[in-house]
Amino acid sequence: MQQMSPIELRTWLDDAGREQPLLLDVREPWEFGMCKIDGSVPMPMNSVPARFRELDPARQVVVVCHHGGRSMQVAMFLERQGFDKVINLAGGVAGWAAQVDPSMATY
């Protein structure tokens, strides 16, 4: 299971010469409404088994949740479905707020 820190993700997103990943946010709608990383696509964890075919298995996917636990479970599920370009955001949006964007709302 690949993981990356919020700082590593910020560096990637800032690199215009690098293909951008899909930021898959697996938190609940109320959480996503509270705060999110710009460009994130919401797909609540409980909907992933029914919806993962909507995702492109050839694209880099960074899975995001609040602290990194749910996203790690989803990343492992996607790997079992044949996705080999999946990365878990260690620390989730809480880590993003602490390390990258202190103006982001937290909960």
What the block records as the tokens of 33 is 């409404």
Do 43 and 59 contact (CB within 8 A), yes or no? no
Question: Phi, psi at residue 50, to the nearest 5°?
Answer: -85, -20
Catalytic residue among 26, 65, 72, 89: 65
Q: What is the distance between the alpha carbons of residues 45 and 11, in angstroms, rounded to a whole number?
A: 26
- Please confirm, yes or no, whether 65 is among the known catalytic residues: yes
Beta-sheet strands, E only, within the chain: 2-4, 22-25, 41-42, 61-64, 86-89
What amino acid positions are annotated as catalytic residues? 65
